[in-house]
Amino acid sequence: MPHAILWDMDGTIVDSEEYWITAEIELVELFGGIWTHQDGMELVGNGLPTTAEKLQRHGVDLSIDEIIQALTNRVLEQLEVSVPWRPGALELIQQFHTAGIPQALVTMSIERMARSVVALIPGLPLTEVVAGDNVMKSKPDPEAYLQAADKLGVDITRCVAFEDSPSGCRSAHSSGAVTIGVEYLVPLSGIPTDVTLDTLVGVTADRVFDIFTAQRGLN
C-alpha cells in the first residue's frame, strides 16, 4: 500500500472553483472592471498570488495579500451556505482512513480556508495541511507536495496524489508521487499523470492500491 495519500482541495475534494470565479468577478466589478468566467477558468489550479496579480491588472486597487484575503472570505461565505463535495471524494477518503493510511491536504488556497474545509470532513481523516501561504513556490512547482510528504514523515515516491488541474498534476508528478488526475473543469490531455480518471465515483481504495503497485513495480 502507499505510505500516504495527498489530496488537492479545490476541484478535487470540493467543487469550489465556481465559488472562486464568482468571488473574482465580484471583486473586479467592485473596482469598475470586467472579469469573465473564462478569465477565471484560465487560472484554475494556479496559486492565489498569480490570481491576485492578474486581478490587479484588471483594476483591483488592493495589495496582493488584501486580494487573497478578500477572495478567501467570499469563498468561505459561500461554503457556509453549501459545501459542494466532489462525487466520490469523501467516500474514498474514508476508505483510506479505515485502512490506516495517513492523508494530507495540498492546496494553493490559504491555510485558514484549507483547515476550514478539513474540519468539515467527518472523522478528521486529513491530519496535515500544506497551503499556498506555507510555500515559497506555488504549483506547478513540487514544493508543496514535497513539504506534505516531509510533514507526514514518508517518502514522496511512496505517496499517491489526487489532482484535477494541469498545474496541480505537474506539481504532484514532478515531486515523485504517483499522480492520479481526476479530469473535471480543465482537460488533462497531454498533462503528466500516472493515471487519469474522469470521476472518483466507484473508485475504491483497492483500485488505487493496484494503480500504485503497477506504477511502482511492486508485488
Write down the pLDDT at residue 218.
62
Q: In CATH, what number is assigned to the domain containing residue 48?
A: 1.10.150
pLDDT tens for residues 128-159? 999 999 999 999 999 999 999 999 999 999 99
Q: Which of 40, 63, 81 is the last residue of a domain?
A: 81
| Nearest Cα residue to 1 out of 127, 78, 73, 97 | 97
What global pTM score does this model have?
0.89
| Nearest Cα residue to 164 out of 40, 82, 45, 22 | 45
- Clarify whether residues 126 and 97 are in a common domain: yes
Q: In CATH, what number is assigned to the domain containing residue 11?
A: 3.40.50.1000
45 pLDDT more than 80: no
- Clarify whether residues 131 and 144 are in a common domain: yes
What total number of domains does the chain contain?
2
Where does the pLDDT of residue 217 fall: very low under 50, low under 70, confident under 90, or very high at 90 and above?
Answer: confident
- Clarify whether residues 60 and 74 are in a common domain: yes
Q: How far apart are the first and last CA of the chain?
A: 10
CB atoms within 10 A of CB 173: 21
- Clarify whether residues 67 and 144 are in a common domain: no
**In whole angstroms, what is the distance from residue 154 CA to residue 148 CA?**
9
**Residue 185 phi/psi, 5° resolution?**
-80, -30
Instruction: Give the pairing type, strands 159-163 and 4-7.
Output: parallel
Domain enclosing residue 30, as ranges: 17-81
**In whole angstroms, what is the distance from residue 214 CA to residue 110 CA?**
34
